Amino acid sequence: MILTVTMNVALDRSLRVPNFQIGHRHRASEAFAQAGGKGVNVARALKHLDLPVVATGLAGGRTGTRVVEELTAEGILNDFVRISEESRTSTMVVDETGGTSTEVFERGPRVEAEELSMLLEKIAYLARGADLVVFAGSLPRGVDDGFYGEAIRECNRRRVRAVLDSEGQALRLGVEAEPWLVSPNQREAEALVGQEFHDDDDFLMALDAIHELGARNVLIGHDAGAYLLDRAERRARRFSAAIPHVESVTQATGAGDAMLAGYLAACIAEGSSDVALRRAVAVGAAATLALGGGQFDRREAQRLEHAVAVAELEHAVQDG
Is 70 among the domain residues?
yes
4 and 124 fall within a common domain: yes
pLDDT digits (tens, 9 = 90+) for 10-20: 999 888 898 88
- Of 181-190, 288-297, 309-318, highest mean pLDDT: 181-190
- State the Rg of the chain over Cα: 19
Q: At what angle do helices 186-193 and 200-213 cross, to 10 degrees?
A: 60
pLDDT of residue 316: 40
Query: pLDDT class for 249, splitting at 50, 70, 90?
Result: low
Per-residue pLDDT of 73-84, as tens digits, reads 999 999 999 999
Examine the fold and report which residue of 143, 158, 176 is the final residue of a domain before the chain moves on: 143
**Same structural domain, 18 and 125:** yes
The CATH number covering residue 248 comes to 3.40.1190.20
Does residue 272 carry a pLDDT above 90? Answer: no
Residues 4 and 125 in one domain: yes
* Amino acid of residue 168: G
Q: Is residue 85 included in any domain, yes or no?
A: yes
The domain tally of the chain equals 2
Of the three residues 108, 143, 178, the one that is the final residue of a domain is 143
pLDDT score for 193:
95
Mean pLDDT of 237-247: 87
pLDDT number for residue 209: 96
Long-range contacts of 205-211 (CB under 8 A, 24+ apart): 207/238, 210/175, 210/182, 210/184, 211/236
Distance between CA atoms of 78 and 88, rounded to whole angstroms?
A: 18
Tell me, yes or no, whether 120 and 227 share the same domain.
Answer: no
> Is residue 105's pLDDT more than 80?
yes
Q: Are residues 138 and 230 in the same domain?
A: no
Q: How confident is the model at residue 45 (pLDDT cuts 50, 70, 90)?
A: very high
pLDDT digits (tens, 9 = 90+) for 171-225: 999 999 999 999 999 999 999 999 999 999 999 999 999 999 999 999 999 888 9
Is residue 89 located within the same domain as residue 1? yes
Domain of residue 307: give its range: 223-320
Q: Which of 165-174, 178-187, 267-276, 296-305 has the lowest mean pLDDT?
A: 267-276
Q: Beta strand 181-182 with 217-222: parallel, antiparallel or unpaired?
A: parallel
Task: Tell me, yes or no, whether 178 lies in a domain.
Answer: no
Residues 246 and 289 sit within 8 Å (Cβ to Cβ):
yes
- Asked if the structure places residue 196 within a domain, the reply is no
Q: What is the model's pLDDT at position 39?
A: 96
Identify whether 48 is part of a domain.
Answer: yes
pLDDT given for residue 48 in this prediction: 95
Task: Report pLDDT for 208.
Answer: 95
Confidence of residue 320 (pLDDT cuts 50, 70, 90): very low
Average pLDDT across the chain, whole number: 91
Q: Of the residues 88, 121, 143, which one is the last residue of a structural domain?
A: 143
Within-domain flag for 187: no
Specify whether 5 is located in the same domain as 114. yes
In a domain, 208, yes or no: no
pLDDT for the residue numbered 253: 63
Evaluate whether residue 19 is within a structural domain: yes
